[in-house]
Amino acid sequence: MEHKQPELPYAMDALAPAISRETLEYHYGKHHAGYFKKLNEALESAPAAYAKLNLEELVCKVEPQHTGILNNAAQAWNHSFYWDCMTPQPSAEPTGEFLQAIDSAFGSFAALKKSFGDAAKGQFGSGWAWIVCNADGELAVTATSNEGNPLRDGCTPLFVCDVWEHAYYIDYRNDRPAYVDAFFKLANWDFAAEQFAAARAAQAAA
């Protein structure tokens, strides 16, 4: 199956000034598009079983030795998820059952933001900071290097921040903390809450 890059869920200039049109033109238009192109090229000579898998199934099931497929599939998935974690119409904080789960796991929304911000700012080198729902249905903050994705560890991603330099170098140069603080102002907590509700429903049905 050919994997297609999804549409960006807002206009290229919709997140400015926190994230500029130029950043999205490179990040979405060059980097993310490139991962899909390389993934499709790598799949041409891949084991036949991989041809039937959708992108999420690839991320979960590709053998580690097939690095070209794994790297590009995960980066393709991670970025598609990352775009949805930002919105031009952000809400200040989560509500409902998601907020209750945050309070239960972290003590408060402010504590979650501190933990997530520390993970994003402290990740050494390229990677991603995540809020996940683990196999026990509990919330956790984690970080992964390079193309890492918590799906491969049995966790369900709820929210992510890209901390590769290409995410912020045009707007913030080497100042990753300033980018992470700006990212929070665009956070799509409604999207994260939807992922949480879906994760809980899937666990209840299992």
Q: Which residues contact Fe ion by CB under 5 A? A: 162, 164, 167
Q: Which residue is nearest to Fe ion (CB)?
A: 162
Least separation, in Å, of the C-beta of 79 and Fe ion? 6
Least separation, in Å, of the C-beta of 181 and Fe ion? 18
Listed in sequence order, the DSSP H helices in the chain are 21-26, 33-43, 55-61, 67-84, 96-106, 109-122, 169-172, 176-185, 189-205
| Cβ nearer to Fe ion, comparing 105 with 178 | 178
Least separation, in Å, of the C-beta of 180 and Fe ion? 14
Least separation, in Å, of the C-beta of 196 and Fe ion? 23
Q: State the DSSP code for 143.
A: E
d(CA 117, CA 131): 11
| Cβ nearer to Fe ion, comparing 80 with 115 | 80
* Nearest by Cα to 86 from 193, 196, 13, 185: 185
